[in-house]
Amino acid sequence: MTTIVSKPGGIGAVETRLAEAHIALPAPQPAIGNYRPVRIVDGWLFTSGQLSWRDGAIVHPGLLGQDVSVEQGREAAAVAALNLLAQVKAACAGDLDRISHCVRLSCFVACTAGFHRHATILDPVSSHLIAAFGDEVGVHARLAYGSSALPLNSPIEIEGIFKVRA
């Protein structure tokens, strides 16, 4: 395993990992209601639910098992993960190396009652976090929910809890 060390004034370890994985983060999305996308309290960072937004539209709107294929759901999950990371980066004043632990993700999959492939759909979310933060910091607990509908007809919504270095 390669250890990446941040250099003062240079690119950080997390940004280096993202670049090596050819992962580019979007601009963080503004809240769509009366809430904040991220809150940091006593060294804990909590994100609001992040949807599968890309270029101003929901990627693959609808329900898994009806309107959205497994492959489309995985793509939507990856997009939501990038939006989550963008929010975390903004909350950390652009320094993702401030994250000491990815603690837990809560993931919602808009799906039909008979759809049961939540883990398959959500694995790209976990993969992006591990690619960004590495095995030690990026590994997390994950909770998956099936839902009959999500905001703006998004097939995926994810929120995260992170520990932040001072």
Over residues 122-149, the pLDDT tens digits come to 999 999 999 999 999 999 999 999 999 9
The enclosing domain of 106 has a CATH number of: 3.30.1330.40
pTM: 0.92
Residue of 60, 87, 91 whose CA lies nearest to 74: 60
User: How does residue 5 score in pLDDT terms, banded at 50, 70 and 90?
Assistant: very low
Q: Which two tokens stand for residue 31?
A: 């809240």
Q: Which two tokens stand for residue 68?
A: 């959205």
For tokens 């639910």, name the residue: 49
Domain assignment present for 99: yes
Q: Which residues partner with 160 through β-bridges?
A: 105
- Outline where DSSP puts E strands in the chain: 38-41, 44-47, 50-51, 53-54, 57-58, 99-110, 141-147, 156-164
pLDDT at 166: 81
Tally of domains in the chain: 1
Whether residue 41 is predicted with pLDDT greater than 70 in this model: the reply is yes
What is the domain range of residue 42? 13-164
Residue type, 92: C
